[in-house]
Amino acid sequence: MRAEDDDAQLMLAFRDGDAAAFDTLFRRWVGRVLRYLERMLRDRAAAEELAQEVFVRVFRARQGYRAEARFSTWLYTIATHLALNELRRPHRRRPHESAEEGPALRLASAEPPADEVAHSRRVARRVERALAALPERQRSALWLAAVEGLSYAEVAQALGTTEKSVKALVHRARSALADRVSGEEEA
């Protein structure tokens, strides 16, 4: 059985009263949801608050769960809606952490130096910085397609748009990041 099918089975089990199934889903997905929300919000504390809300919504929506889409698509649709709403709040607090020194990069910087590792780290830093500067829908589309492995149809569902639009969003985002990294390497 594929992992995705397993997730759907766990959600169905949770719907039918198996509370431990929810804990399993939470532990399996919370890290990835947090990572996505951190990239979207650029604020660790806000990402944690929103991750909590994502799983609260999963919890509350269990009775209506029908496994018509992959569990991950459903989960990221919830997370994306919450993130985009949060970003549109007029008095949203400013991020605590800059894109250059996000949590992932701080973890990476603790590793021993080596030329190749150091180069990869520099590239990752540039990509992270450029990602943070992208429009939010481009950022979301690229992350969901390139990192989380959602199809364009699934990303379209999460963003409430068309596959054609997703193709354009992902292309613009990926090209912008590649140009930025290449430009900095040449400079």
Partner 1 sequence: MSERQLLDEELSALLDGELDPGPAVELRARVARSPELAARLDALRRVDAALRAAPEPAAPADLLGRVYAAAGAQPAGRAAPPRWRRWLPLAGGALAAAAAGLALWLAPGEDTRAPVTAAPLDLSSASDEEIAVGLELETLEDLDVIEYLDLLERIDPAEQPGRG
- Residue span binding partner 1 (CB under 8 A) among the ranges 3-11, 23-31, 75-83, 92-100: 23-31
- Residues 73-132 binding partner 1 (CB under 8 A) are 103-104, 107-108, 120, 123-124, 126-128, 131
CA distances from 13 to 1, 2, 62, 133 (A): 16, 16, 10, 41
**Centroid of chain to Cα 171:** 17
Q: Number of residues in contact with partner 1, rule: CB under 8 A?
A: 50
The reply on whether position 142 binds partner 1 by CB under 8 A is: yes
Closest to 29 measured CA to CA, from 148, 146, 172, 123: 148
Sequence-separated (6 or more) residues with CB below 8 Å from residue 157: 69, 73, 77
For residue 125, give the nearest of 43, 47, 180 by alpha carbon: 180
1, 19, 110, 187: residue in contact with partner 1 (rule CB under 8 A) = 19
When asked if residue 51 is in the footprint of partner 1 (CB under 8 A), the reply is: yes
Told to check if 136 binds partner 1 by CB under 8 A, we report no
Judged by CB under 8 A, the residue of 69, 99, 174, 184 near partner 1 is: 174
Whether the Cβ atoms of residue 87 and residue 134 lie closer than 8 Å to each other = no
**Closest CB 51 distance from partner 1, rounded Å:** 7
Coil, strand or helix: which one is 151?
coil
Least Cβ distance, residue 129 to partner 1 (angstroms) = 11
Position 100, amino acid: E
Residue 152: which residues within 8 A CB-CB, separation 6 or more?
A: 145, 163, 166, 167, 170
* 167 forms part of the interface with partner 1 (CB under 8 A): yes
Question: Which parts of this chain interact with partner 1 (CB under 8 A)?
Answer: 19-20, 22-23, 26-27, 30-32, 34-35, 38-39, 44, 48, 51-53, 55-56, 59-60, 103-104, 107-108, 120, 123-124, 126-128, 131, 142-143, 145-147, 151-152, 167-168, 170-171, 174-175, 177-178, 181-182
